[in-house]
Amino acid sequence: MRIVTWNVNSVRSFRGRFKSVLDSFDADIVCLQETKLNRNGLEEEFAVPEGYDAFYAFSDSVSGYSGVATFASRTRSKFAVPLRGEAGLLGSLGAEMTFHESDGFTEEELVTMDMEGRVMVTDHGPFLLINVYVPSTGSLERFDFKLRFCLALQRRIEAMRAAGRKVVLVGDLNISYLKIDHCAPEKEVRDVTGWYTHPARHWLRSMLRVGGGHLEDAFRVLHPTELHAFTCWSQKTSARETNYGVRIDHILVDEHLVEALADSAILSEITGSDHCPVRVELREVSWSDRPMECRPSPPGCAKYLPELGRKRQLSLARFVVPGQKEIGQKRPKPPTGMPLKTPEKSLMAESSMPALY
């Protein structure tokens, strides 16, 4: 099974060729971050690309901001199309989140996290796939928000594993946790020996087996010493031309899936965003058989969104004029002097947050 993750910095940049972009990865599952779409602005090209089931988490707090989406091929691995998809940290897919009393989470805080559309969970049988876009750090307030988000994500993963499920975590984690994953670690902290004391790096390291956790960094398992392996570059300084970047896009696999790890690669030759895609290949070893033929799209799929259904009805209505039977006939022109109404365009605010890694 081939899984690809990519922060696309707005999926609308692929309008008119989106399916060909998905096909170009020759992947079973494609996970995108920073889609910057909202429910009402979801176009059919992005919601139901031919041959794929799509699963979206939208930002309900700011239009045209954040957002993640997972695309499962219906023509490749029988494990690609999930049994179910669910957006958010507060869901119950795999297992409901459990907290430590000391965490101090309130329901309002968790709902606020999910309003930014940063998590999509899909159940593929042998594993649960979490597609995540971890917040960047633009202020002290957002830094605290990022750390709280990471802790909530950790609690959800712990609950899944406690329920006996294997987890694959992919996405833009906005954390460069190894010194070799940063173009200038000496500038990031005054004392490089304190690199791992940074709270976000400490958190990610604690999720990995090297730090006492139960996940493995797929790329570093297979390429432990590779240098200049970056996934994100500043567009303001054209840093990609000199490969002055960071590795903040990761695929972390459950420790019990490491034996299935066949390949992992950074696809730095693919452009179109300030990030590049990352790929992993898993051998379907000892995975229980599951029939694939003619399975319907599962719950949580974008094709079932009521907003998309309404858009389809409105689109069809444009071609039907009362008293006319032929679809596609032109509307009669309005009487002279009567203004012709045109649908208002929906403007999506595109915002980006500066990142401190």
Residues 110-132 have pLDDT tens digits of 999 999 999 999 999 999 999 99
Among candidate residues 203, 201, 266, the one with its CA nearest the CA of residue 232 = 266
Q: What is the pLDDT of residues 18-72, one digit of tens each?
A: 999 999 999 999 999 999 999 988 999 999 999 999 999 999 988 889 999 999 9
Is it the case that residue 167 has pLDDT exceeding 70? yes
Report how far apart the first and last C-alpha atoms of the chain are (Å, whole number).
30
Share the mean pLDDT of the chain: 87
Asked if residue 232 lies in contact with residue 274, where contact means CB atoms within 8 angstroms, the answer is yes
Q: What is the pLDDT of residues 316-357, one digit of tens each?
A: 455 455 555 444 445 455 445 444 444 333 333 333 333 445
d(CA 297, CA 79): 13
Q: What is the pLDDT of residues 253-310, one digit of tens each?
A: 999 999 999 999 999 999 999 999 999 999 998 787 666 555 789 999 999 998 886 6
Which residues form the catalytic set? Answer: 133, 172, 275
Quickly count: other Cβ atoms within 10 Å of residue 233's Cβ: 22
pLDDT of res. 309: 67
Task: Give the DSSP per-residue string, 237-252.
Answer: TTGGGGT-EE--EEEE
As a whole number, mean pLDDT of residues 88-103 equals 90
Burial of 224 (0-12, 13-18, 19+ CB in 10 A): exposed
pLDDT of res. 98: 87
Q: Which residue has the higher pLDDT, 196 or 295?
A: 196
At residue 144 the predicted structure's pLDDT band, cuts being 50, 70 and 90, is: very high
